[in-house]
Structure 1
C-alpha cells in the first residue's frame, strides 16, 4: 500500500516520522504524495494551540480524499493524539488509528492489520514504564552524514504552561548501552554529525537511581567514539545544565559550539510563575561559563510573550536579556492556554493585541541581533558539512549548501571548473557575504 506522513512540531517528531517512514518502506509499503496515498499519517504537536488547530484543519481537508476513496484511512499520532485520544474516531470517520509517542514502535504492525480488516479501529495510547525502544538498524537508511539519536522520553518538570508531561509522560531515560550502540552503528555507516534528542537531555539518567550514567558522562562516552566529527544535543533545561556538561564544551573539540538553551522570559517574576526553577541571574551565570569554555559558542533560545500577568516591565526585561546574551536565533511564541496545565487557570491573561505587539517587537529585535551575528562571520573561515546542492547556482559554477559547526546555513560556490559532488563532506569555506538568514561564501580548496 501507499502511505504519506505529514509532520507537525519539534525535531523529535521529525525524527519519529523519519523512523516510521523507513520502517514502512522496509516492510514493503510505498511512500507517495498525499493525494495518491491509501494511508495518511499525521504526526502531531500540541505544545501550542496553533499547531493543534492546524491538525484539525488538515484532517478536515482530508475528507475530500476519503470521499473519493472510501478505503483510504488516516492515522493520527504524536501529542495531539495522546491528548484527544479516541475522540478523533467520533469526529472523523476516516481516522482508524490513534497513537501516542510511546505507541510508535507498534504502528507499522497496527497499520498492516488495519489494511487487512476494514472495519477495525485501534488506539495505542498507553504510556510505557521504560523508554519505548524501537528497531534502529533498518537496512534502507542509505548514505547520510547527519543523524539524530533519542536518549530519553517525557519530562518531570511540569512547567506551568507546558503540556509535554501530559502528552509524553514522565521522564524515562534510555539504556545507555543502546544509545551508544546506535551511535556506533550510525558512525559505521558514514554519519559524521550526531544530535542527541530529548525533552530535557540535561536530566538524562536522573530518573534511573544510578542505573544509568548522568548526562555529562554519556556525552563524554559518545564524544570519544572513533570517527565522530560533530556532536550536538537538544533540548536543554537551564536548571539541569551541570558544570560538567559545560566543561565538556572546552574538553571535546567535536562537541559543536552551539547550544539551544530555552530562557522563556527575562523576568524573574514571570519565570517564577512559569515554574522554571531558575532566575535570570542563574541563567546568565551559565551563559558566562559556557563562553568561558567556548568563546565562539552560538546560543539560541525559546521565548514566550504574554504569559499571564506579564507586565510591560517584565517584557522589557526579556528584551534586555536578549541584548545581553546576543542569541543568534530564537523560537518565540505568544502564550496560549493548554488544557490541563496550571497556567490555563491563571488570572490576568494578556489580551491578544498586546501579545501580538510584544511578539513583533521581540522578533524585530531578534532579526537585528541575528543579522549582526551573521555579519560578524564575513571574512571568516567556516568548516561546512555539505547537505546537498544549493538552489543558488549559475551555469558556470556549482553551488552547494550546508551548515557550519554552529549550525548556521552556508551556501557556497565550488572551485571554478569542479564537477565533483561534495555532499556529505566537510569542506572549508571562506564567508563572503551575510544574507538575511544565511551566509554566502566560496570553497577554498578541493579536499
Structure 2
C-alpha cells in the first residue's frame, strides 16, 4: 500500500509520525507524496486553536483522494483523542481514530483496514502504563527519511514518557495525552544505544515534562538526572538535548549536569509562560518569579554560556497592564535567546475557560506584537555576539536560500543556533547530513548565523 502521513504540532508528534512510517515500511508499505497515496494518516494537535482548525481543512481536502476502493484516512493524536468517533460521523472516509496511547496499535490496525474495506476502528482509551511500541529498524537511520517528515540525518528523537500530571489551568495536554507515564529506563537507554550504533550523533529526549521522569507509579527509582548520565555515557553520542522542561520539577542534579556532561548541549527550553506572579498562580504553574530566576541563576552558574528559550502566553484571562509589564521585565532579566509567544485561546475542558475577565483580542495582539519586537531585538543582539567565534555545527541539509557559487549548507551549533555555511566542491547530491564541521561565524542575521568552514575536514 502507498501511504502518506501529515503531521501537526510538537516534536513528539513528529517523532510519533516517524516511528509509524518506519513501522509501516517494515510491513512493505511505501511512504509517498500525498498525490500518490491510497491511505492517509493525519497526526493532529489541539494544544492551540489554529492546528485543530487546520485538521478539518486537511480532511476536507483528503476526501477528494478517497474515491477509489480501499482508500481511507486515519486520524491520530490529540484531536483524535478529543473528537473520537465523531470523525466517523463527519467524514465517512475516516476509518481509524487513535489517541496518544493508541498509536502503538496503529500499524496493525492500518493493515486490517487495508484488508477489510468495511471495518472501522477506534483506540482512544488511556492506559495506566507507557505502551511500548514495536521496535523498528533504525539502521541506517538516514535512509528512512520519508516524504513530508522532518527527520534529519544524524539526529533522532526518543520518547521517555507520555502525558502530564500538572493540569495547568490553560492546558489541554492531560486531557488529550493522559496522566504521566514514564518509560522503563532500560528501554530508553537501549533505544538510544541502537540509534547511536546506526549512525545517530544527536538525540533529543522528549516528554511533556521530562523533569518528572520516574516520578509516577511506573517509575523504577531512576530519576531524569540519572537517565541523563546513563545516556551521556553511550560511546559515540556527540550531543544530547531534551524538551520540554517544567520549571517546578527541575532538580539540582539536572542543573549540575549542564556543567558536568560534555555532550549535554548548553541549551534549555524552560517555559516561563508569564512573568507575573498573579498570572502564574492563576495558571497553576506552582512557581513564581523568584523561583524561576533562581533556576536561571543556577543554570548560568553551572554553564555560563547556556542558551535559554521559553514559551510565553500573552492575554491570559485577568492579565492586567501591570502583569504584562512584569513579563516584559522578565524578558530583560533573563534575556532569552528566543521565545515562542502566543495569544491565549480557550481550549475545551480546561479550567481557564471559566476565568474572567477575558482580555480583548485587540489588547492581546498589541501586547504580543510589543513582546515579539523586543524579543527579536534581544535575539539579534545575542547572535551578533557570536560573530568572530569558532564553533562546531552538525550539518543537516542544503540551505533553503542559495547564493551564487558554492552550495550552502545549514547546521546547528551546540546552542541550537542555525548556521549557514558555503562549501566549495560540494554538489546538491553530496550527502553531508550528520557530519560535524568546524566553522568561524562571520555574520549574524535576525534568526540565524553565517560562517565559513575552518580547515579541510574531508
**Is 2:342 the partner of 1:342?**
no
TM-score normalized with structure 1 length? 0.96
**Does the aligned pair in 2 maintain the 1:22–1:140 contact within 8 Å?**
no
Q: Distance in 1 between matches of 2:218 and 2:205?
A: 21
**Counterpart-to-counterpart distance in 1, 2:320 and 2:156:** 42
Aligned to 1:325: 334
1:381-420 Cα shifts (integer Å, max 9, x gaps): 1110111222444553232110000111110022x45677
Q: Which runs of 5+ in 2 are unaligned?
A: 143-152
Per the TM alignment, residue 35 of structure 1 is displaced from its structure 2 partner at its CA by: 2.1
Corresponding residue for 2:12? 12
Aligned 8 A contact 1:232 1:256 in 2: yes
Is 1:53 matched with 2:58? no
- Match for residue 214 of structure 2 among 202, 205, 209: 205
Q: How many residues align?
A: 445
Aligned to 1:27: 27
Provide the C-alpha distance between the structure 2 equivalents of 1:345 and 1:188, rounded to a whole number of angstroms: 51
Q: Against the structure 1 CA distance between its residues 51 and 286, is the aligned structure 2 distance closer, same or farther, given a 3 Å change threshold?
A: same
Is the 2:184–2:219 contact (alpha carbons within 8 Å) kept by the matching residues of 1? no
Q: What is the distance in 2 between the residues matched to 1:442 and 1:378? A: 11
- What is the DSSP-based 3-state SS (H/G/I as helix, E as strand, rest coil) of the residue aligned with 1:239? helix
The Cα of 1:120 is off from its aligned counterpart by 1.0
Distance change (3 Å), C-alpha of 1:69 and 1:436: farther
- 1:429 equivalent in alignment to 2:439: yes
**Within 1, Cα distance between the matches of 2:370 and 2:426?**
45
Runs (4+) of structure 1 moved beyond 4 Å?
Answer: 416-421
Aligned counterpart, 2:78: 79
Partner of 1:243: 252
Q: For structure 1, which runs of at least 5 residues remain unmatched after alignment?
A: none
State the partner residue of 2:95: 96
- Greater shift in the superposed pair: 78-87 or 207-216: 207-216
5 Å-filtered alignment, 1:20-419, equals 20-66=20-66, 68-69=67-68, 71-138=70-137, 141-143=140-142, 144-208=153-217, 211-394=220-403, 396-414=405-423, 416-417=424-425
State the alpha-carbon separation in 1 of the partners of residues 218 and 451 from structure 2. 49
* C-alpha contact (below 8 Å) 2:141/2:195 kept by paired residues: no
Q: Determine the C-alpha separation between the residues in 1 that align with 2:401 and 2:366.
A: 35
C-alpha distance in 1, partners of 2:310/2:133?
Answer: 30
SS of 1:101's equivalent? Answer: coil
> Does the CA-based 8 Å contact 1:152-1:173 persist in structure 2?
yes
Please report how far the alpha carbon of residue 139 of structure 1 lies from its aligned counterpart in structure 2 after TM superposition.
5.1
Residue 209 of structure 1 and its aligned partner are, at CA, apart by: 7.1
Which one is further off, 137-146 or 222-231?
137-146
* Structure 1 residues 65 and 160: alpha-carbon distance in aligned structure 2, compared to 1, 3 A threshold: same
2:450 to 440, 443, 447: 440
SS in 1 for 2:234: coil
Cα RMSD, aligned residues only: 1.5
Deviations 1:181-215 (A, max 9, x none): 01111111111111110000000001137623011
Distance (whole Å) between structure 1 residues aligned to residue 188 and residue 141 of structure 2: 20
How high is the TM-score relative to the length of structure 2? 0.94
Give the conservation status (yes or no) of the 8 Å contact 1:26–1:140: no
